[in-house]
Amino acid sequence: MVAALNHFTEIDHCSREQLEDLINFAMEISSDPAPFENRRKGKMLVNLFYEPSTRTRVSFEVAAKRLGMHVINVTATGSSVEKGETLTDTFYTIQAMGPDCIVVRHPEEGNARKLAALAEPGIHVINAGDGIAAHPTQALLDAVTLRQHVGSFQKLRLVMAGDIRHSRVAHSVIALLKKLDVGEIRLAGPAQFMPGEAATAGTRIFDNLDSAIRGANAVMMLRIQKERITGLDIPGAEEYHREWGLTTRRLGLTEPGCHVLHPGPMNRGVEISSAVADSPQSLIRNQVRNGLYARMALLLTLMREEN
Amino acid sequence: MVAALNHFTEIDHCSREQLEDLINFAMEISSDPAPFENRRKGKMLVNLFYEPSTRTRVSFEVAAKRLGMHVINVTATGSSVEKGETLTDTFYTIQAMGPDCIVVRHPEEGNARKLAALAEPGIHVINAGDGIAAHPTQALLDAVTLRQHVGSFQKLRLVMAGDIRHSRVAHSVIALLKKLDVGEIRLAGPAQFMPGEAATAGTRIFDNLDSAIRGANAVMMLRIQKERITGLDIPGAEEYHREWGLTTRRLGLTEPGCHVLHPGPMNRGVEISSAVADSPQSLIRNQVRNGLYARMALLLTLMREEN
Amino acid sequence: MVAALNHFTEIDHCSREQLEDLINFAMEISSDPAPFENRRKGKMLVNLFYEPSTRTRVSFEVAAKRLGMHVINVTATGSSVEKGETLTDTFYTIQAMGPDCIVVRHPEEGNARKLAALAEPGIHVINAGDGIAAHPTQALLDAVTLRQHVGSFQKLRLVMAGDIRHSRVAHSVIALLKKLDVGEIRLAGPAQFMPGEAATAGTRIFDNLDSAIRGANAVMMLRIQKERITGLDIPGAEEYHREWGLTTRRLGLTEPGCHVLHPGPMNRGVEISSAVADSPQSLIRNQVRNGLYARMALLLTLMREEN
């Protein structure tokens, strides 16, 4: 039984037990989603997105509709933002319409948490990505995918490589895996893409992908988050691929059968070669599918007492 | 029993009885919405929006979905407008797909009424705001909110303040309250923001907010409608706030317990201070909630014979 | 019984029997749609649109919702396209979420077919327009409309006039009508708007609308596809209307009762006069209505074994 959870805005707000229960529940759904269809019929989810998104918005929309929920999409473009309304007033407006869940994506760190603190009882706030800080449902789906394919978190030797600093996915994945006592987390990337000590504590840092990757049984490649980088020189695609791209040759340095993950969208030929992205070792589409189950598990858990 | 109503494009097209019945019906729904859920299952509503909107579009979408209706959103961006199609041809196209209700927002006055005249039997047109002329469902929700909190319209002494001239909300609220024989309507705002005589007839006009507000039991503050103003100097925010903003001091001049309304989106620190917006006297979130019930009442009324 | 069909991306991929069955099925639905409501309850359709669209997107959305399906809209704007994701990776992402149908509109020719080749079993790809090449569901609805009003395809003497070269509608209509052994197809338009031989084979070409139109029993007028034309001088609206516009005078040269079609959006006063567009001979709104039935027929056919 998953312990009571009211919002889901940051990994660190959850206990290890809650996170393990969510992962287990998502795995249960993934093995047979049919019994969970329409289990929250008539409930309402609002996607409140202040940044462009395809996969996350659609994943929440599909997950909610599979549960029988109504879904309302609100994007910052074409909205009252242009008329000078504050984020909190928009939130209060949406909330006054009585949805059950509000899924928030926002370019600034901490805003999902801030809105969760303003939520009325019975309204659940989910962080779908805020600034470079957190994207906890993505971490959940990554954990589900790793658990399915590596078996146990203790056996996991995961390399995360690329633009870790500007990746909210990386921050949430690191936070989650640390809570779960994962075997080993290795970080590799250009110095300018390494995050601060709070994020790297408990991990091993490499300034070279070849060294980082030796003996790993999972590798998660990260896109350069151009839209969130200011004041840094971004390396050219070819040069970056040579130094930091996951190629077939580099994949050969890992443990045989090493799994490849990428939160998407991928930039083929930059952080990952097409041969690797499309290889049998790639779990990229499994991640997307598990995103659906992870979000169904989360929605069912947040609204547990309500149907 | 609400008298038959086919479209809802302007307050003046409705009889006093029809308006009172709509308000009473919305109040009934607000006290217990559950019995009305799914009462128009399978019916279809199209939101045809030629201007950005969050609250109105979402409010119609939530109201319709609560009634079990399908909702299709169409916005001018990404649409055949760019390919040179006229408004009426777009309307005919949408209409040919057989929706039950078409909700229209358009920057030019009179277009909702014009489209209603082209509607086939069984298709109901609702004005969600046209130019600076009318926004009748907003007037409806304001009337519901005032009725709930002031008790009777005869007792109401309402101040509307700010940019009345460019506010379609103001025009519809004034028209509705006049029909309902409201106690007293006072208008206050800079001369350039005062509407013409047709709108002000039967109201009292003030060139000073302090005088207007004395003894009022409800105040509705209006945003400066920058996007609809051409050829006028718009005052600076600080200066405007000093002269025309609703502050705690000014609120102290009203009758004790005076209610504060704002159709949103608010510009805090301009027409209203944050202290007032967040005070217990503020009904701003009640207005949003009532918007849902007013629109449910309207949809049920328009499609009354059809389920 | 309609023969098994897995995707619908190009007319030439279908047999004559399949096309005839689709047309017959759409006609059956058009005569009484009620029994088909909710026949694919809980199935999911994704509209994946890389170009602006109102009528086609809404038509698929209405058709799918009438069948009880969930609909998810994805547009290129506000999507991961901006983050450098390829079309095929976006498709794989959408596909991994387990929809039943993916409706694709894309500015480049052949992309719907390309994506259909990547689809997993049980996922059906529909072309909603790719480049100037094809728009096969529009051809279907045009065939339904012509069948209803002309009676048999063998009796049809259809003139298509205007910018045939850049019209995907024209390419698909010509391909479909040829398969159906239509009586006669005449093409008329400025030389620069005439397509290549592959498209014109089996048709009669006219460089003059007056000659083309004599004795026709149906005329389909086409909009100048400004957004898809590069490197050509586009004639002025008045001059074009004089030379190539369908006017009341020109309509008088046809067989009495000749039917007028236009795939929309129309540019009134350019390729068609308002008098003709709004005349009793115009089937333009019938086309839109039949679009709904043609798409319902297609969706039911593609997912035939699945409910």
Residue A5 lies in a domain: no
C298: helix, strand or coil: helix
pLDDT band at B235 (very low <50, low <70, confident <90, very high): confident
Q: What Å distances lie between residue B17 and A40, B1, B153, B179, CA to CA?
A: 40, 10, 14, 10
pLDDT band at A307 (very low <50, low <70, confident <90, very high): very low
C97 and C23: one domain?
A: yes
What average pLDDT does chain C have? 94
From chain B, the residues in CB contact with A86 under 8 A are 268
A66 and A203: one domain?
A: no
Residue A6 lies in a domain: no
Q: What is the mean pLDDT of residues B18-24?
A: 97
From chain B, the residues in CB contact with A42 under 8 A are 37-38
pLDDT band at B77 (very low <50, low <70, confident <90, very high): low
Q: Considering only residues 215 to 274 of chain A, which have any Cβ-Cβ distance to chain B shorter than 8 Å? A: none
Q: Angle at CA B9, nearest 5°, toward B4 and B11?
A: 80
Between CA A220 and CA A236 the distance in angstroms is 21
Q: Is the pLDDT of residue B2 over 70?
A: no
From chain B, the residues in CB contact with C54 under 8 A are 74, 78-81, 85, 90, 93
pLDDT band at B284 (very low <50, low <70, confident <90, very high): very high
pLDDT of residue A81: 67
Q: What is the mean pLDDT of residues B116-130?
A: 97
pLDDT of residue A235: 81
pLDDT of residue B111: 96
pLDDT of residue C225: 86
Between CA C183 and CA C205 the distance in angstroms is 15
Q: What Å distances lie between residue B41 and B47, B234, C66, CA to CA?
A: 17, 47, 11
Residue A3 lies in a domain: no
Domain span holding position A34? 11-135+288-302
B65: helix, strand or coil: helix
A187 and A99: one domain?
A: no
B160 and B128: one domain?
A: no
C83 and C182: one domain?
A: no
pLDDT of residue A52: 84
pLDDT band at C307 (very low <50, low <70, confident <90, very high): very low
B221 and B172: one domain?
A: yes
Between CA C204 and CA C212 the distance in angstroms is 9
Contact C54 B90 (CB under 8 A): yes
Residue B3 lies in a domain: no
pLDDT band at C77 (very low <50, low <70, confident <90, very high): low
Q: Is the pLDDT of residue C81 over 70?
A: no
Choose from B30, B58, B79, B138 for mutation: most chain A CBs within 10 A: B58
A93 and A236: one domain?
A: no
From chain B, the residues in CB contact with C37 under 8 A are 42
B155 and B108: one domain?
A: no
The neighbouring-strand residues paired with B126 are: B8, B103
pLDDT of residue A275: 98
A91 and A114: one domain?
A: yes
Residue A41 lies in a domain: yes
Residue A141 lies in a domain: yes
Residues in chain C: 307
pTM for the complete prediction? 0.96
Between CA C276 and CA A148 the distance in angstroms is 64
A142 and A272: one domain?
A: yes
Contact C268 B42 (CB under 8 A): no
Choose from B48, B85, B97, B120 for mutation: most chain C CBs within 10 A: B97
Q: Is the pLDDT of residue A2 over 60?
A: no
pLDDT band at C109 (very low <50, low <70, confident <90, very high): very high
Choose from A36, A41, A58, A137 for mutation: most chain C CBs within 10 A: A58
Residue C4 lies in a domain: no
Taking only the tens place, the pLDDT of each residue in C202-220 is 999 999 999 999 999 999 9
Q: What is the mean pLDDT of residues C273-277?
A: 98
C114 and C155: one domain?
A: no
Q: Is the pLDDT of residue B307 over 50?
A: no
Q: How distant is the Cα of C202 from the closest Cα of chain B, in angstroms?
A: 31
Residue C6 lies in a domain: no
CATH number at residue B218: 3.40.50.1370
Residues 6+ away with beta carbon under 8 Å from C276: C246, C247, C248, C251, C260, C282
C42 and C160: one domain?
A: no
Taking only the tens place, the pLDDT of each residue in A246-272 is 999 999 999 999 999 999 999 999 999
State how many domains chain A has: 2
Detail the DSSP E strand segments found in A122-203.
124-130, 157-162, 184-188
Q: Which residue is associated with the tokens 């030389």?
A: C191
